[in-house]
Structure 1
């Protein structure tokens, strides 16, 4: 009976996934990317109910269907399926929301890396060259526009910063893939919680953002990678690429930690809930300076147990 139910639900969830994929394909180009976050829901939901082994079989079935009817669309299945099985399997094993998010982030990162490699091997798409070409075109257009908007030293400084960004972005493609996995996991998990709470009458939810805290190991990864970036190496070598990606990824996570501390401090001080939100928006609008300060705040929060000190004083 259980096997029959598992097979029936697997076929149903595979059908739901393929239906969602068709909807996204025929949706307007501006709406399709938004609905991409719904694709992992069938995989997460089925793996949550029956475990990662059953979820893996569903993923294989969905992958075979998409390979038969459109090899290009199998890229979506790689991302949604691998990430969904990882995340759903974590929920099946009663992991906490943050632990499930971590597992899901790993799965979606693997899926994104699979898309990156498959597109290069099967379709000959060189993402590094594509990104460089697109950014160089954007840089040329901006170079023509800025002299009319700014003048003198401001123009040169802005163009130099933009030029450095153009040259730097292809080097951090691995970090971009991981950050994509983290964002995909969070949004898909949040949407799946809505489905599970409605269907199974559960109370799944993420803990408040003010309780978010990274392990101390992230801090050591950040400092170790920071030291390596100052060692003169070949900019196309593995040491440089590895250190710069770890530094970028760990630095982004520390910014998230800093924002979390701002929400925590606002709660302790009984500030209005709007104040930390406004601070985050201002920091994102002025990232060159303020995000570095938020990162330092995140480092202090982890390294010096800032929250525990505030609790002690309170």
Structure 2
């Protein structure tokens, strides 16, 4: 019975995935939305049957996507399959929403790396080289446009050098960008997976209130160790320096998220209107370059010193 149900679920969800993939390929405008929906069939299957049978489904999906879609869809199936299976397997084990998100992030980052490696080996397509080529084309177009407008050559050279330096930094931060992409993909796909699973399975999967988000103290230690080592390592061309910059930006991102979470907690604690923390967050995002350090410091204090726990204890006294 279980084997029969597993086969039926696998066949149905694989068919749904192939249809979604074909729609994504045939109608590129839908890709912005469907990129977050494509992992859902894997999430549902893995949540029901765990990761081992899901690998069989992934193998079947890769073969069928090559037959019915295009060979170039294979990296996409790897990406969505690995990430979706990691989220679904975490749901199967009844892990918390944030633990599931963390595993999903690892899955999508691994899927991205596999997809890039797959494209490099099978199609001889280097993502980094393609990206650099597109960026160089953009620089040349911008340079020719500025020349046509009659700008001074010295000013043009200064502007181009600034852009080239920014692009060089972008390449150095590529690992961090991959992790950020994995974080966003996992978060939205997991949320959609929760909604679908709740409707089909009559379960009650959901993310806790954002105000209750609490990252581990280890994030602060990682941030400060990377900060101290980066002060000692001043060679911008070294692999260690580039790695440290990626770690600093990523951990800083988590602490900023913690700071925003504290806004929502403080508003709830003071019984303020729900719109107030939303407005504060929007203003903070608009003025991000100015306010980001303050938000990050707030996150550090909240994580390191248990700010909200101290407020709750003082209230009990």
How high is the TM-score relative to the length of structure 1?
0.89
- Note if contact 2:46-2:92 (Cα within 8 Å) is conserved in structure 1: yes
* Residue equivalent to 1:97: 97
- Note if contact 1:175-1:246 (Cα within 8 Å) is conserved in structure 2: yes
Identify the range of structure 1 (126-135 vs 170-179) with the bigger mean alpha-carbon deviation. Answer: 126-135
Counterparts in 2 of 1:158 and 1:250: CA distance versus 1, 3 Å: farther
Gaps of 5+ in 2: 150-155
Partner Cα distance (1:256, 1:108) in 2: 20
Counterparts in 2 of 1:227 and 1:118: CA distance versus 1, 3 Å: farther
Query: Secondary structure of 2:208's partner?
Result: coil
How high is the TM-score relative to the length of structure 2?
0.88
**How far is the alpha carbon of 1:134 from its aligned partner?**
4.0
Partner Cα distance (2:297, 2:220) in 1: 11
- Note if contact 1:131-1:170 (Cα within 8 Å) is conserved in structure 2: no
Query: Secondary structure of 2:173's partner?
Result: helix
- Note if contact 1:83-1:108 (Cα within 8 Å) is conserved in structure 2: yes
Query: Secondary structure of 1:230's partner?
Result: helix
Whether 2:180 is the aligned partner of 1:173: answer no
Identify the range of structure 1 (233-242 vs 208-217) with the bigger mean alpha-carbon deviation. Answer: 233-242
Q: How does 1:65-214 map to 2 (within 5 A)?
A: 65-69=64-68, 70-135=70-135, 138=138, 164-214=165-215
Counterparts in 2 of 1:188 and 1:209: CA distance versus 1, 3 Å: same
**How far is the alpha carbon of 1:273 from its aligned partner?**
1.2
* Residue equivalent to 2:52: 53
Query: Secondary structure of 1:31's partner?
Result: helix
Partner Cα distance (1:120, 1:283) in 2: 40
- Note if contact 1:132-1:167 (Cα within 8 Å) is conserved in structure 2: no
Whether 2:39 is the aligned partner of 1:40: answer yes
CA deviation profile, 1:156-182 (whole Å, cap 9, x unmatched): 999887555322111111111111111
- Note if contact 1:48-1:90 (Cα within 8 Å) is conserved in structure 2: yes
Partner Cα distance (1:132, 1:6) in 2: 45
* Residue equivalent to 1:244: 245
* Residue equivalent to 1:152: none
Whether 2:298 is the aligned partner of 1:297: answer yes
Partner Cα distance (2:290, 2:74) in 1: 41
CA deviation profile, 1:173-220 (whole Å, cap 9, x unmatched): 111111111111111111111111111111111101011111111111
- Note if contact 2:23-2:30 (Cα within 8 Å) is conserved in structure 1: no
Partner Cα distance (1:259, 1:161) in 2: 32
Q: How does 1:205-244 map to 2 (within 5 A)?
A: 205-232=206-233, 234-244=235-245
* Residue equivalent to 1:9: 9
Partner Cα distance (1:7, 1:244) in 2: 47
* Residue equivalent to 2:314: 313
**How far is the alpha carbon of 1:121 from its aligned partner?**
2.8
